[in-house]
Amino acid sequence: QEKYLFSEIEPKWQKKWVDRKDYQAEEHSDKPKFYALAMFPYPSGNLHMGHVRNYSIVDVIARFKRMRGYNVLHPIGWDSFGLPAENAAIKNQTPPSEWTWKNIANMKRQLQEMGISYDWDREVTTCHPDYYKFTQWVFLEFYKHGLVYKKKAGVNWCPSCATVLANEQVVDGACERCDTAVTKKDLEQWFFKITDYAQVLLDDLEKLPGWPDKVKTMQKNWIGRSEGAEVEFDLENHEDKIRVYTTRVDTIFGVSYVVLAPEHPLVQKLIAGTEYENDVQVFIERMKGLNEIARTSTETEKEGLFTGAYCINPYSGEKVPIWIANYVLFEYGTGAVMGVPAHDERDFEFAGKYKLPIKTVILPEGTPVEEKDAPLQAAFVEEGIMVNSGEYDALKNMEAWEKMCDKAEQDGFGERKVNFRLRDWLISRQRYWGAPIPMIYCDHCGIVPVPQDQLPVMLPDDVVFKAGENPLTTSESFKQTTCPTCGGKARRETDTMDTFMCSSWYFLRYTDPHNAQLPFAKEAADHWMNVDQYVGGVEHAILHLLYSRFFTKALRDFGYLKVDEPFANLLTQGMVCLGGAKMSKSKGNVVSPEEIISKYGADTARLFILFAAPPERDLEWSDQGVEGCYRFLNRVWRLAAQYEEVLKEKASETGANDFGELDKAAKDMRRQTHQTIQRVTSDVGARFNFNTAVSAIMELVNALYLYKEQPQVNLAVAREALESILILLAPFAPHITEEIWSELGHEDSIHSREWPQMDEEALVQEEVTVVLQINGKVKDRIQVPAQISAAELEAQVRQLPRLGEWTQGKQILKIVTVPGKLVNVVVK
Ligand code: ANZ
Ligand code: ZN
């Protein structure tokens, strides 16, 4: 064929690969396994360039590993529950399922048009009852093991729409629909006890050398382990005590106030019937309107109010005023803190604003003790020597820390305490398009889990979609049920699950996607897990990865699999940008993959996106870059066309390895072929430097074009070069390489070929000329083997017959060698 007609080639091979099931993972195989996984997409409607990048990266890895002799599992599926489908349902009055399945069909077509080597038999779709049945099953399993509980928790509430809002529906603190200020409302909701796994989730980050450090740091900060102490302050004129959590008990002689979170139940007791009651109540109401982020942001002005009550410092016996303030969170620690303005920046600011005393209790080492009461310009937050702290004076503050904790423990007013920032995971959503939580409320029996053999709890169709209501509560057929225990009348839970539940175990389902009894069989999971290479956006670096790790560890503890970490290696790909900004609809700077593919073909799109930047870096879109890749593929096409005829003729005469006598040009050609094999193998296999791998292939193409112009061409060498180009390029541009491969007369798929072996001998550069100097003066030029070492070169020079003549009996002091270049003999 003369012309490179990608629009004919690509669909032809895509169909063959799918029909022949070329990329099916083998159930039983002697080959080592390799599990390559891209984060599965949300079916929003169309693929964007971020998807193209993600899936192209994993496809190169999967294809490469297959050619390297692995039994590769490379699946795909759909993270298909969630809010957009429900919003579309309200807007278009079509069921969320219709919208979702239509999008899946479209995106599946687009994926197939990219020629990604998926095992389509393992496709999973989280909104399909066959899948969410097991999401429910997993929920019940966690429930059985005491890792699920119900409690009251605040949700975003729009007073005007009278509805619960997801975080995404709150824009700058207001309802996205009606712009009313969003408040908090307490509802009974379901939680997963991820905090039981906080320590091990932290510790096991150590087991993940194949993860980017930045992701591990993000996880670590999110888990937020904090070592401190809880200390009790007695209340003046009250039975109750205030327990504070502090990481700096060593500063406790510097406490000038104690602060409670506005929601702290003690606040009501303290103010009841006092002159402070009204003002405090107003303050609390105002705080309820603000979410946690707004309240604790360093940007936010610290605000507080005195409650009129006092407590007693257990170490100093001093009387301490009790305040409430916006920056104290009820959900963290004990919801109460001690304020130490001299040693905490936030407290320093607060004390300045409200004229509270600032008392130094730690001085920098070396500061004269006389300066202990000098006014401070800023909080001193470093380590130092204790002052103004009674019996602890003159100690290093960390020693005082230990002694003070000992005292609290001995006297029973406190103890050492480890806290985590990590909260339990609120999985309840007051939404329709999610997996129904499989729980039943019976007046007799209370909360009854749906027996696992009665799953799935199906989403009903007879629901009304209107803004401001959980559609599930509009379905009587769904709500009314019978109690599995007593058979009496009962009511179904109408909350559905956070979609992160669906995505926390999908990688396990791929190992056994058709299992009707269990989410996956242990043997299947044990065989395929863990995922050898996971690739996705850094936006999932915290929650998705943390929840998936939690699920894997818990399911391991329940006995369902043996690995304890789901993802052995993680690659977080960079963004695709245009004009320096991430491509996004809202910025209007998107390039549609479909357009690029129809104009240049999938191979060009893939090649560009892999060539333009290393996978972890951001990638700047460039039309010229795309053109360049397209031209390169055309060049490969023409190169093959020109060789095809000659090669076909000679193919029978020359055996695969029968190169005969090689002239210099042929040797150079072979050397570059094998250098390229070496380069691409390590760039792709060890470092994911796809861009440099592609450049090396491009250079090899150039070299072969030149070689072709030689008066005498060794066809075995040329063919080896051409076939190497094709095989090395195959993971990047799978269609064109497959087409040329078959045109060359091969019956098998290029993608089932073995990856080429680098031939050490071909790398040998035979002889080079080395300059010989005596005391820096050029005396001669000698021919030596190119690969010669410094020691060998020196030995050879010492044996030169004419050496004595040149040195004229003088003593040789040393011989300086630059292998491949020169030798300098220093004499005296
Ligand atoms: C007194 C003190 C003095 C503190 C000092 C710090 C420095 P991490 O490391 O994040 O655990 N704190 C405790 N509970 C809080 C809550 N519910 N809301 C807001 N702040 C809270 O931080 C622990 C420190 O954060 C604690 O130590 C407490 O302030 C504050 F020189 O106690 B510290
Ligand atoms: Zn019952």
Please state the length of the chain.
Answer: 828
Residue holding tokens 């799935």?
A: 456
Residue 1 has pLDDT above 80, yes or no: no
C-alpha to C-alpha distances, 566 to 142, 143, 205, 440, nearest whole angstrom = 18, 21, 12, 32
Residue 644 has pLDDT above 70, yes or no: no
Mean pLDDT of 696-721: 90
Residue 158 has pLDDT above 90, yes or no: no
pLDDT of residue 490: 97
Mean pLDDT of 721-732: 97
333 lines ligand 1 (CB under 6 A): yes
Helices 623-650 & 593-600, crossing angle to 10 degrees? 40
CA of 440 to the centre of ligand 2 (A): 9
Per-residue pLDDT tens digits for 10-29: 999 999 999 999 999 998 89
* Helical H segments across 651-714, by residue range: 664-682, 690-708
- Work out the pLDDT band at 656, boundaries 50, 70, 90: very low
Residue 292 has pLDDT above 70, yes or no: no
Q: How far apart (Å, rounded) are the C-alpha atoms in residues 512 and 525? A: 7
DSSP code of residue 42: P
Per-residue pLDDT tens digits for 367-418: 999 999 999 999 999 999 999 999 999 999 999 999 999 999 999 999 999 9
- Work out the pLDDT band at 652, boundaries 50, 70, 90: very low
Identify residues whose C-beta is under 5 A from ligand 2, the ion: 442, 444-445, 483, 485-486
Tell me how far the alpha carbon of residue 436 is from its chain's centroid.
27
Consecutive H or E run containing 228? strand 225-235
Closest CA to 150 of 198, 192, 197, 185: 192
CA of 321 to the centre of ligand 1 (A): 18
**pLDDT higher at 9 or 237:** 9
pLDDT of residue 651: 47
What are the residues whose beta carbons fall under 8 Å from the beta carbon of 344, sequence distance 6 or more?
Answer: 248, 251, 379, 381
DSSP code of residue 482: E
C-alpha to C-alpha distances, 529 to 305, 379, 686, nearest whole angstrom = 55, 51, 21
Positive or negative, the CA dihedral 445, 449, 452, 455 is: positive
For residue 77, the cross-strand partners are 124
Positive or negative, the CA dihedral 105, 110, 111, 115 is: positive
511 lines ligand 1 (CB under 6 A): no
| Mean pLDDT over the full length of the chain | 92
Beta strands in 485-598, from DSSP E residues, in sequence order: 489-492, 496-497, 533-537, 570-573, 576-578, 581-582
CA of 334 to the centre of ligand 1 (A): 10
Strand pairing class (439-442; 446-449): antiparallel
Per-residue pLDDT tens digits for 42-75: 999 999 999 999 999 999 999 999 999 999 999 9
Burial 92-111 (b: 16+ CB within 10 A, else e): eeebbbebbbebbeebbebb
C-alpha to C-alpha distances, 284 to 262, 279, 426, nearest whole angstrom = 6, 9, 24
Mean pLDDT of 457-479: 90
**pLDDT higher at 519 or 91:** 519
Q: Among 221, 223, 245, 423, which residue has the most ligand 1 atoms within 8 Å of its CB, making it the best to mutate? A: 245
pLDDT of residue 649: 55
Mean pLDDT of 187-216: 96
Of the ligands numbered here, which is closest to the C-alpha atom of 483?
Answer: 2
Instruction: Characterise 551 by phi-psi region: left (phi > 0), alpha (psi -120 to 50), beta (else).
Output: alpha
Q: Which atom of ligand 1 is nearest to the CA of 343?
A: 31
DSSP one-letter string for 775-794: TTEEEEEEEEETT--HHHHH
Per-residue pLDDT tens digits for 202-217: 999 999 999 999 999 9
- CB-CB contact of 332 with 255 (8 Å): no
Residue 247 has pLDDT above 70, yes or no: yes
Q: How far apart (Å, rounded) are the C-alpha atoms in residues 770 and 59? A: 47
Q: How far apart (Å, rounded) are the C-alpha atoms in residues 682 and 416? A: 51
Closest CA to 320 of 235, 413, 412, 411: 235
Per-residue pLDDT tens digits for 743-765: 988 999 999 999 999 988 888 87
509 lines ligand 1 (CB under 6 A): no
CA of 389 to the centre of ligand 1 (A): 20
- CB-CB contact of 364 with 382 (8 Å): yes
DSSP one-letter string for 118-137: --GGG-EETTSHHHHHHHHH
Q: How far apart (Å, rounded) are the C-alpha atoms in residues 776 and 630? A: 52
Q: Which atom of ligand 1 is nearest to the CA of 332?
A: 17
Give the residue whose CA is nearest to atom 18 of ligand 1. Answer: 328
675 lines ligand 1 (CB under 6 A): no
CA of 302 to the centre of ligand 1 (A): 15
Q: How far apart (Å, rounded) are the C-alpha atoms in residues 40 and 79? A: 6
Q: Among 223, 233, 247, which residue has the most ligand 1 atoms within 8 Å of its CB, making it the best to mutate? A: 247
**pLDDT higher at 768 or 323:** 323
Q: How far apart (Å, rounded) are the C-alpha atoms in residues 47 and 139? A: 31
Consecutive H or E run containing 723? helix 715-729
Q: Among 220, 223, 246, which residue has the most ligand 1 atoms within 8 Å of its CB, making it the best to mutate? A: 246
Q: Which atom of ligand 1 is nearest to the CA of 331?
A: 17
pLDDT of residue 769: 85
Q: How far apart (Å, rounded) are the C-alpha atoms in residues 684 and 489? A: 62
Neighbouring CB atoms inside 10 A of 748's CB total: 9
662 lines ligand 1 (CB under 6 A): no
Q: How far apart (Å, rounded) are the C-alpha atoms in residues 426 and 443? A: 25
Give the residue whose CA is nearest to atom 28 of ligand 1. Answer: 246
Closest CA to 422 of 550, 309, 599, 298: 550
Residue 710 has pLDDT above 60, yes or no: yes
The pTM for the full model equals 0.88
CA of 246 to the centre of ligand 1 (A): 5
**pLDDT higher at 807 or 297:** 807
Mean pLDDT of 91-109: 93
- CB-CB contact of 304 with 295 (8 Å): no
SS3 480: strand
Q: How far apart (Å, rounded) are the C-alpha atoms in residues 541 and 559? A: 27
SS3 726: helix
